[in-house]
Structure 1
């Protein structure tokens, strides 16, 4: 009986360690994306993005209706690298919630966005990732944007 309990505890520990390591790798891909974003390095961003990435935002139009906006990834990269050097911006991720099933992962990251040292907006990013050749790649990114509640 003692050996069965020891085996079960060892198995649970190995699975838990493996899953924590996998979660760290998923988070690392998201962090690399934002490192490239903040340094305006399109090559770094592309290193963790799948070839057919989809980018969308959920927002509210002037009439107060919920809208889904789609963005072209190439246009997104052009916008990021063209931000003038004298403008500062920071997307401050407040937390990470990671879910993994096999070669698919989801990361939910609430954030605050700062532009020229002023809080611009808040929201949530939802990243979908796929594990390809032992590397987690972002296949889908959808976010929300709203005025921050103080």
Structure 2
């Protein structure tokens, strides 16, 4: 009986360890997607960039934060506080000196779906253009994580500089 109890405890511990390794592996894979995303922008690698996404349609919506939107309304009174785009349009708009930085990353996943949230800053010619919060939805397809949605807030650095926070 004692041996059976020890065996069951060891079996339970090994199952818990295996489950934790699975989560760690998925989180590492998702972090690699984030790194690849940033790297593709810097290296101008559209082919690899496009492989990060699931089949169209991909939800891509930016919401302009209140302070920036109020300034924009002075120039364009009917301006919406959001815009829709695609990852391909986003990529085409990048300049040669574009860079996006991610920090305060939080990944929630269950092995099939994932939600990733983080703060970001977008840079052009080594000058911060805008910043905000970003959220991605991902799914695991045939063993590979793919981005299915990108939602983000946008604040102009010139209008309302990003507060200093832990990165």
What TM-score, normalized to structure 1?
0.84
Q: 10, 14, 31: which one pairs with 1:10?
A: 14
Residue 127 (structure 1) shift: 0.9
In the TM superposition, residue 21 of structure 1 has moved relative to its aligned partner by: 0.3
Alpha-carbon spacing, 1:13–1:45, altered in 2? closer, same or farther (3 Å): same
Residue in structure 2 matched with residue 29 of structure 1 by the alignment? 33
Structure 1 gaps, min length 5: none
CA apart distance, 1:30: 2.3
Distance 1:144 1:105 in 2: 20
Q: 1:117 aligns with which of 119, 126, 132?
A: 126
Do the aligned partners of 1:129 and 1:137 also contact (CA within 8 Å) in 2?
A: yes
Higher helix share: 2
Question: Who wins on radius of gyration, i.e. which is larger?
Answer: 2
Q: Distance in 2 between matches of 1:97 and 1:144?
A: 16
- CA 1:9 to 1:66, structure 2 compared with 1: closer, same or farther past 3 Å? farther
TM-score (norm: length of structure 2): 0.76
Q: RMSD between aligned alpha carbons? A: 2.2
Q: Which stretches of structure 1, 4 residues or longer, exceed 3 Å deviation after superposition?
A: 63-66
Structure 1 counterpart of 2:81, from 50, 59, 67: 67
SS of equivalent residue, structure 2 residue 107: strand
| In 2, Cα distance between equivalents of 1:95 and 1:66 | 28
Q: Secondary structure at the match of 2:104?
A: coil
Q: Secondary structure at the match of 1:44?
A: helix
Is the CA contact (8 Å cut-off) linking 1:27 and 1:107 kept in structure 2?
A: no
Q: 2:88 and 2:132 mapped to 1: Cα distance?
A: 23
Distance 1:26 1:59 in 2: 26
Task: Give unpaired runs (5+ residues) of structure 2.
Answer: none
Q: CA deviation at 1:125?
A: 1.6
Partners of 2:53 and 2:148 within 8 A in 1: yes
